Amino acid sequence: MADSRETLAAFVVGSPIRHSRSPLIHGHWLRQFELEGSYRALEVLPTDFEPFIASLKADRRYRGGNVTIPHKERAFELADQPDALAEELGAANTLWLEDGLLKATNTDGYGFTANLDQYHPGWDKAHCAVILGAGGASRAVIQAVRDRGIGEIHVVNRTQSRAKALADRFGERVHAHPMEALAELMADARLFINTTSLGMDGEAAPEIDFSPMRFDAVVTDIVYVPLETPILAMAKAQGFATVDGLGMLLHQAVPGFEKWFGRRPVVDDALRALVVRDMEAHG
């Protein structure tokens, strides 16, 4: 029988993987719980992903792991038992071995809502939300916001056909719109979510006038580099509450850690400070 310390191991797999902050997050929790586990970043190219998944099941070196770009869709397809969340998204970011089966879920939506729960409790009283963007990252957000019971979810995207595809996928409470509709849609919204790459990594973002929104609306961005994105800075300058996207990254890691290592970790200020310091040091 394998040494139990040997099996207390998890990974994050992606390509490129060297900028992943997941090892920092899970390493922090492993130390906090004084567990002799490990969490490693694994660089695996798309052509090697299927054999990688096969080896996971064969050699049992890992309890499971996280999956990031570009493997989330393939991970879902290759899992033996994706849950309903992953099934609807067609993508998985968390894998674990259980009863000899490779199980899969997607915790991005949980991370998104847990971040808002932490920094803006009551956000889910919003009847109406506007989501900017219809790329891969917006799917889990749409699903999570819908599952928390937000009545009307308006997806606004430069390419309207992509927004339409998501509206079709996520049901009758989700509607697709072109960019021009933004101001009108904002009038009813108490939640504004940017899921586009606008403003990422120091890029400029177009000016957004948030003034049509209710005074008690909250604006959040899933981009967290920089922490205060141009969209958040604009919203704040216009007097709106804002929540940055770093907490989504931190919270999405919680369910995986619990599956692999048996303890439910907490997203605390020390963890956030650790990741912020790393971002400041390495960009």
- Look at residues 176, 185, 183 and name the one whose alpha carbon lies nearest to residue 157: 176
- Look at residues 105, 165, 119, 158 and name the one whose alpha carbon lies nearest to residue 139: 165
CB of 9 to ligand ATR, least distance (A): 29
Q: Which residues pair with 9 in a beta bridge?
A: 38
Instruction: Give me the residue label for tokens 């998104």.
Output: 112
CB of 224 to ligand ATR, least distance (A): 12
CB 244 within 8 A of CB 223: no
Nearer to ligand ATR among residue 138 and residue 220 (C-beta): 138
Interface residue with ligand ATR among 115, 196, 229, 242 (CB under 6 A) is 196
Q: Does 202 bind ligand ATR (CB under 6 A)?
A: no
Instruction: Give me the residue label for tokens 């803006």.
Output: 120
DSSP, res 281? H
DSSP, res 73? H
| Rounded Cα gap, residues 16 and 70, in angstroms | 9
State the residue number with the nearest CB to ligand ATR: 135
Q: Does 197 bind ligand ATR (CB under 6 A)?
A: yes
Nearer to ligand ATR among residue 53 and residue 193 (C-beta): 193
- Residue list 117-136, contact with ligand ATR (CB under 6 A): 133-136
Out of 57, 72, 103, 164, which one is annotated catalytic? 72
- Residue list 15-54, contact with ligand ATR (CB under 6 A): none
Peptide bond into 226 cis (omega under 30): yes
Q: Does 158 bind ligand ATR (CB under 6 A)?
A: yes
CA distances from 248 to 1, 119, 251 (A): 38, 11, 5
| Rounded Cα gap, residues 42 and 12, in angstroms | 6
Segment holding 144, helix H or strand E: helix 136-147
Contacts of 79 (CB under 8 A, 6+ apart): 86, 92, 95, 102, 103, 104
Interface residue with ligand ATR among 40, 120, 162, 214 (CB under 6 A) is 162
Q: Which stretch binds ligand ATR (CB under 6 A): 154-162, 184-192, 245-253, 257-265?
A: 154-162
Tell me how many residues contact ligand ATR (CB under 6 A).
14
CB of 271 to ligand ATR, least distance (A): 24
CB of 196 to ligand ATR, least distance (A): 3
Interface residue with ligand ATR among 93, 157, 229, 252 (CB under 6 A) is 157
Q: Does 198 bind ligand ATR (CB under 6 A)?
A: yes
Nearer to ligand ATR among residue 21 and residue 28 (C-beta): 21
CB 131 within 8 A of CB 191: no
- Residue list 228-267, contact with ligand ATR (CB under 6 A): none
**72 tagged catalytic:** yes
The site for ligand ATR (CB under 6 A) is made up of 133-138, 157-159, 162, 195-198
Query: Which residues are part of the catalytic machinery?
Result: 72
